[in-house]
Amino acid sequence: MSAVNRKDSLNQFIQQIYGRPVVVKLNSGVDYRGVLACLDGYMNIALEQTEEYENGQLQNKYGDAFIRGNNVLYISTVKRRT
Amino acid sequence: MADDSDQVPAVSVKEPLDLVRLSLDERILVKMRNGRRLRGRLHAFDQHLNMILGDVEETVTIVEIDEETYEEIYKEKKRHVPMLFVRGDGVILVSPPGRVGI
């Protein structure tokens, strides 16, 4: 009963954050900030205009970056204020 | 990958792996565990991100800490491999190279 609701709300969350700027943190502690292009059930992620942060700013990746899901600790939305 | 659209197109949801397929036969950058980076031409891949890469340059970056001065020394080792099979579980990130600035 409640399990079905949780599945729907997860799908809703994923639908909502498509196209938004997100932060993806990996198990290794590295941070990726970019626009969420897509996401699948394994937490594989495709990001656009990605920036990689490790301690300080490491690299800038433009275009698409695909992150293998097993490395992902979390995905979070972020309000970009620059 | 030639599209330069700023907005997200209103198409049906695709998988991230579908977008990797767009990079087939193109040069890509692969970031792997243990500080390894590969640059090569993507010939094939699967859902585990096992990959066949051709004309590959591997860069291994090691950080050594000097025991006396405690400073971090970055060392890079490169090697070139004509054809390489990459096991997917070591892969962290895949990206088309080009506009990568350090």
pLDDT digits over B8-64, tens only? 444 455 788 988 888 899 999 999 999 999 999 999 999 999 999 999 999 999 989
pLDDT of residue B84: 97
**Chain B closest CA to A72's CA: distance in Å?**
9
- A37 touches B: beta carbon within 8 Å: yes
ipTM of the complex: 0.80
d(CA B2, CA B11): 17
pLDDT of residue A81: 58
Q: Which residue has the higher pLDDT, B7 or B90?
A: B90
3-state secondary structure B17-64: HHHHHCCCCCEEEEEECCCEEEEEEEEEECCCCCEEEEEEEEEEEEEE
pLDDT higher than threshold 80 for residue B95: yes
The predicted-structure confidence for A1-54, as pLDDT tens digits, reads as follows: 556 677 777 778 888 888 999 999 999 999 999 999 988 888 899 999 999 988
Cross-chain CB nearest to A63 (options B18, B91, B96): B96
Cα torsion B87, B75, A55, A47 to 10°: value is -40
The predicted-structure confidence for A24-38, as pLDDT tens digits, reads as follows: 999 999 999 999 998
pTM of the full predicted structure? 0.80
Q: Judged by CB atoms within 8 Å, which residues 29-68 of B form the interface with A?
A: 33, 49
The predicted-structure confidence for A60-78, as pLDDT tens digits, reads as follows: 777 789 999 999 999 999 8
